[in-house]
Structures are given as structure tokens and as C-alpha cells.
Amino acid sequence: MFPLLAFFIFHYVIPATSLNEEGVALLSFKQSIQNSTALNNWNSSDISPCRWSGVQCSDEKVTSISIPNSRLSGFLSLDTGKFTSLRHVNLRNNFFYGSLPVELFAATGLTNLVLSGNSFSGLVPNEIGNLKNLKILDLSQNSFNGSIPSSLLQCTKLKQLFLSQNKFTGSLPDRFASNLVMLQKLNLSFNNLTGMLPIDLGNLSSLQGVLDLSHNFFTGSIPTSIGNLPELVYINLSYNNLSGPIPQNDILINAGPTAFIGNTLLCGLPLKTPCPPDPKPLPYEPAHYPLKNKSSRSRCVVITVVAGTVLGVGLLSVMFTYWYKKVYVYKGGNGVQGSNLEEKSNVRKEMFCFRTDDLESLSENMEQYIFVPLDSQAKFDLEQLLKASAFLLGKSRVGIVYKVALEKGPTVAVRRLEDSGSQRYREFQTEVEAIGKIRHPNIVSLLAYCWCINEKLLIYEYIPNGDLTSAIHGRTEMAYFKPLSWSVRLGIMRGLAKGLAFLHEFSPKRYVHGNVKPSNILLGENFEPQISDFGLSRLAYTTEESLATHLEHSKSSTPQQGSPYALTPINSSIIMSYYEAPEVSKVSKPSQKWDVYSFGVILLEMISGKSPVMQTSSSEMGLVQWIQLSTEVKPLSDVLDPFLVHDLEKKDQIASVLKIALACVHMSPDKRPSMRIVSDSLERLALSN
């Protein structure tokens, strides 16, 4: 009966309507789905499918089919060749199974194909090479097997390729990196890939973030071309069968040992496994090579001299670096900082001399260092800090951040400030020790600092669980992205509100953070939020010229008792971001209401799961504006992050937090609540449920 009924519907009922060909194709797709409750408004009586859930159009032509997180199940039956303008297909996190139909790759104009988080299996059809305009391909978290099709290399415009957590086997196609040079993100982790790493990996010069090839069965040595990749790319080659010495270039050394663990035959830095010495070369036979013997002997002499010189310089450098001499101990009175430092801390402060140009290399000039602990946790000195294992965490306009694991002590985060000039110690000391006095469970603690003429280090406690941006949106190096539940999100909101309220109301001075955004909100082991980068921009004033300008400005606008005082610089030419209050570019005096606005944007981001800027068909729209417009015409469920669908029993609580967020992002600063009021409101809301 069912085939007869389907035949009757699609040959008599549907033609009786005016539904266009694209709508008929979508209804055919719906018919193949076992659980299609999310598509209830897909009706054959409509003229066009452009108002159907998950369908977007331009000029009455379907451009996007996006139905993620909707519990759709069944075999995928979608003939994209019926859609002449189709650009995006997103069926992420559903329950589709079986192999991919070749008809899926008929839309040659397709730019985004996202099928992650389903149960697809079998081979990826060679017809995928038809998608010459494809920019994003996400097939991760499925059960695809067989080799990665070589036809994929015809998709030369690919920018993001995610094939992780499948069962792909075999080696990567020849010229993999040479063909896909536009790749910005690449994740092939958790597969069964074999063979050697492509020697042309260094051609991926557009990479950003992470190159993740971990948890496979790659063999052989690591290509030296990887050293040509951009500086901030984090390489993850862990848990393979790689062997031989790790190429000694900055990008691999800065990746740290965790990028190479699980490869028992690898050796060399940053691993602690030393490489065996090279075998001695066989001697030449003069009788057989009379013409080459002389030149070979000359080369040997040159190599010996150079090697001896390098070894000698290296030994001297190590001696000067690690066997330092304590040249001065502050006892107060005579030094330029003596008595003042003794009053600030009971810990003895010492000046060290090192031969150093930066944290990794040596220079010809001896520099004087002052290392000052600010917290009882700082039970280490500068020597221990520089001897510890460290690798790069990130880089920004104000400096570089390293993760440093002390041999006998805690793991810390060290920020090396960018320094284009010399700042006097007194000014730097005043600023950094003011920051060091801030102690709150929701604010990252500054443990110590190091100062010299051309080097300034800030040592913070290390927060292990990443930042709020990654927790909301995920990141490519995450093996498994677990979305935050509403209760966890509310806890983060409450902690963040408490931290900002403390800065504004209860700290020794009423401070303004001035740069509140999710990437500056770090998460502890239990997702407790901790605000970082407080006062960092103020310490970026390192040149005498910029410092003088700031001090001149401070004289003309000295804060009165009880008024906000910002440690962040105010510059009328600062680039506006979507977390900044609208008045930032118009007002020179910092306000706590700036932080309130930024906090409101973060709340909206956590509620909606969307980025702070929305990409529309013709332009960009800020998340604040999008939420304000959406809440006027759409129900709350249309604004929520799809991952919160299981928390709809908390919709009244979510709606209340949404109201608080919208109050925080009011255009008028005077009509925004204080952070103390916001914090109290969130506490009452949490206790009432």
C-alpha cells in the first residue's frame, strides 16, 4: 500500500499544486527521512520552499539547506543537481546512516558541505571531486572507511577540511599539500591512516590554528618542510608511529612535548629523549679516489673547525645562561628600588645577570633582571623559570604567551610583553603591583613579574581548561566537543559577573577592565570562569614617548576619590569590536559601563551559541542587533543555541537571563545596570530554580 500511496501523492497530488521543482525535490528528501518532525512546515501546498524550516533562498532559488541537531534519521537521499543555486548543505549532528549518494555531489556550485556527527559509512565517492568550488568539507565523527579519494585534490579552493574520527585507511593522496594550498584548517585525527607524512606539508602556508594528524599510524620521519608553516600553527602529531629526530625549527619546538607523545621512536627536543649519535663515516680509499681525496680532506678540516667553534660557543652560552652569578641583593636604602621593594614583599628579591636576547636565544650584552614574587604560590625563581619546559600558547599585539611547566613547582603561564623601548622601573612597578594585589576566585592571579630595560615578563597561574570561546563554539583540536549545558553556562555567567563586580566595587580601587571578551575568560577544571588580561594594555605602554603621552593625559583627567580608574589605555583610534560599547570611540574617559556592555554581549553569545557578528546575505550584522530584531518577531526557541534544546524546561530562566543581557547592551550607558546589580540578579535567579 505504501508504494501505491507514494506514487499517488507524487504523481497526482503534488502536480496539482504550484510547488516548484526545487520544492518537489525537497519533499522527496523529506519522504526518505524516518523522523521528520523538524520539517513539519514543509508542505506541498506552498508555492515555494523558501519559507520552510532550514531552507534559505535568494531570488526564489534555494541557496542553503541547513538542518543541524534535528534528530533526522534514515538513508540520505538528496539530489543536489535539482538546485541550481545551492551553496550550503549542513546536516550536522543527526542520525543519518549508510553511504553517501553520488547525487549529493551534483551541485557544482556547492561551497559548504557539513555532515559531521552522523553515522555515515562506506567509501567517500570519487564524485566529490566535482565540487570545484568547495571551501568547507566536514565529514568528521562518522564511520567512513577506505582511503581518502584522490579526487578530493580537485577541490583546490578548500579552506577547511575535517575528516577526524572516522575509519579512513591508507596513505594520503600524492601532492596532497601541494594541491590544497588554500587550507586554513586541517584535522585528520583519530583515523587509521598509514604511510609517510607528505614531504610537501610545508606548502600549507595558509594554515591557521591547528594541523592535527594525531591518533593515526603514520610512519617515517617528520618532514623538515613543516618548519615553513606559519608561526602560530600548532602541530599535533601525537600517537603515530613516527621515528627519527624531530626537525629543530621553532614551530615544532614551540609545539611542546605533547605534540609528539605516543611516538616511541622519535627523539630530540622538545622531547626529553636524546637522539643517538650519528655513526662514524667510513674512511675514503686514496688509491681509488686520488682526485677527490684532497678536497674531501679539506672539507673534513673545515667541518671539524666549525663544529669545534660551535660547540665551544654553545658551552660558553650554557654556562653563562644557567650558571649565573647573583650580583646584587636588595636590602633597602642604596639601590634605586631597595627600600620600596622590601616594603612590598617579605620575599627576598634578587637581580640576576644573564646573557640573553629573548627567552630562547643568547646575545652579547649582559642585562640586569629584577624578579619579584607577588604571591605565596610563587615558590620559584627566574633560573627555575628559564630552565623549565615551555611551549607557545599564543601571540597578540601585546606579547607572546608561553606555558611553562616547572620541574619542581606549578605550571604557569608566562607573558612576554612586546617592548619597543625602555620603561622606567618605577612606573612599571607601580602598575604591575597594583594588578598583583587583585585576588578573587574569578580573576586570574598574577604570581610574579620580571623586569629589565628591554625585557618584561608577567607570570600568571595557569588555567587548564581553555577559554570561553572554545567552550561555546569548540575548536578544531578538540577530539570531542561537548556542548555546555545551561546549568554550566549559568554558572559561568554568575562567576564572570562576580569577578567584574569585584573589580568595579570591592577592589582597592574601582577599576575598569576595558577588554572583556570570551577569549579573555579562562575556565578552570570545573568550568569556573577566571578573568584574564586585566590591566595588560596599560602595561603595553613601554616607550618613553607613549608613556609620557599617557601621563600627560592622566594629569588632565585625574580620577577623583571613588571614581573608576582604568589600567587600560584609551585611544580614540582604537578599532571597534563587537564586544565594545558604542560610546568607546567617542569618549576618552573609561567607564565601568563599557565592561557591562561587553558582559551583555557575552551573555547573548552564550544564550544563542552564535558569534558576535552575523553574516547575512548582503552584509554583516552584530549579534546584539540580530537578537534585538529576532526577539521582536521570533519565539525564544528560535534564538537559542540548538545545543540547549534539552534544557527547554529552563526556558523561563533563560528568558530572564536574556532580559538581563539586553539591559546590559542598552545604547545609553546610563540605562545599563551596574555589575553589582547584575551579579545579584543572577544569584537570585539561580537560587529561585
Angle between helices 592-608 and 623-633 (to 10 degrees): 60
pTM flag (> 0.75): no
Residues 545, 555 contacting (CB under 8 angstroms): no
CA distance 448 to 413: 11
User: In the structure grid, which three cell numbers stand for residue 367, read together?
Assistant: 642585562
What's the pLDDT score for residue 326?
Answer: 34
Q: Is the pLDDT of residue 565 over 80?
A: no
Q: Is the pLDDT of residue 407 over 90?
A: no
Backbone angles phi, psi at 315, to 5 degrees: -65, -40
Architecture of domain 465-539+577-688: Orthogonal Bundle (1.10)
Q: Tell me the range of 180-189, 337-346, 550-559 where mean pLDDT is highest.
A: 180-189
Range with top average pLDDT, 315-324, 373-382, 533-542: 373-382
Instruction: Give 390-402 pLDDT, tens digit per residue.
Output: 777 777 667 788 8
The Cα–Cα gap between 137 and 160 comes to 6
At 277 the pLDDT is 79
For residue range 568-590, list pLDDT tens digits in order: 333 323 334 788 888 887 776 77
pLDDT of residue 475: 64
In three-state secondary structure terms, 206 is: coil
Looking at residue 6, its pLDDT comes to: 52
Residue 168: beta bridge partners? 146
Grid cell digits, residue 409: 613547582
- Residue 537: predicted pLDDT: 63
Instruction: Please list the residues that pair with 662 across neighbouring strands.
Output: none
Tell me, what's the pLDDT at 423? 55
Closest CA to 39 of 5, 7, 78: 78
Which of the residue ranges 68-72, 632-636, 650-654 would you say has the lowest mean pLDDT? Answer: 632-636
With pLDDT > 90 as the criterion, what percentage of the chain qualifies? 24
pLDDT tens readout for residues 321-342: 443 333 333 323 333 233 332 3
The domain segmentation of the chain, as residue ranges, is 59-267, 465-539+577-688
* 234 membership: H or E segment, kind and range: strand 234-236
Q: Which helix (H) or strand (E) holds 659?
A: helix 651-664
C-alpha cell at 179: 594541491
Q: CA–CA separation, 158 vs 183, rounded Å?
A: 6
Task: Look at residues 643, 686, 659 and name the one whose alpha carbon lies nearest to residue 495.
Answer: 686
Which pLDDT band, with edges at 50, 70 and 90, does 255 fall under? confident
Q: How confident is the model at residue 12 (pLDDT cuts 50, 70, 90)?
A: very low
Amino acid at 190: F
pLDDT value for 89: 92
Neighbour-count burial of 663, counting CB atoms closer than 10 A to its CB (0-12 exposed, 13-18 middle, 19+ buried): middle
Q: Indicate the SS3 state at residue 420.
A: coil
Please give the pLDDT value at position 689.
63
Query: What's at 473, amino acid-wise?
Result: H
Query: What's the Cα-to-Cα distance from 442 to each of 48, 217, 438, 493, 530, rounded to whole Å?
Result: 52, 42, 10, 11, 4
Mean pLDDT, residues 180-200: 91
Q: What's the confidence (pLDDT) of residue 618?
A: 60
pLDDT tier at 370, thresholds 50, 70, 90: confident
| pLDDT at 14 > cutoff 70 | no
* Residue 676: pLDDT over 70: yes
Q: What value does the mean pLDDT of the chain take? A: 76
In terms of average pLDDT, the best of 15-24, 93-102, 363-372 is 93-102
| Helix orientation angle between 486-501 and 675-687, rounded to the nearest 10 degrees | 150
Kind of pairing, strands 136-138 and 399-405?
unpaired
Confidence band (pLDDT; 50, 70, 90) for 686?
Answer: confident
Phi/psi at 521 (nearest 5 deg)? -105, 105
Q: Which of 181-195, 302-316, 460-474, 629-643 is predicted with the least confidence, judged by mean pLDDT?
A: 302-316
E strands, 136-178, are 136-138, 143-146, 160-162, 167-170
Could you tell me the pLDDT band of residue 280, with boundaries at 50, 70 and 90?
A: low
Longest Cα–Cα distance of the chain, Å, equals 101
- Residues in CB range of 628: below 8 A, 6 or more apart: 662
Please determine, for residue 299, whether its predicted confidence score (pLDDT) is greater than 70.
no
Q: How far is residue 194 CA from its own chain's centroid?
A: 28
Cell 591557521 found at: 208
Residues 10 and 27: their CA atoms lie apart, in Å, by 9
Looking at the domain that runs over 59-267, which CATH code has it been given?
3.80.10.10
DSSP one-letter string for 106-126: --TT--EEE--SSEEEEPPPG
The band of 614, judged by pLDDT with boundaries at 50, 70 and 90, is confident
- Residue 111: C-alpha distances to residues 57, 161, 553 (Å): 15, 12, 51
On the 0-12 / 13-18 / 19+ scale of CB atoms within 10 A, 451 is: buried
Q: How far apart are the C-alpha atoms of 49 and 59, rounded to whole Å?
A: 12
Q: How far is CA 190 from CA 136, 183, 418, 477, 479, in A?
A: 19, 19, 38, 11, 8
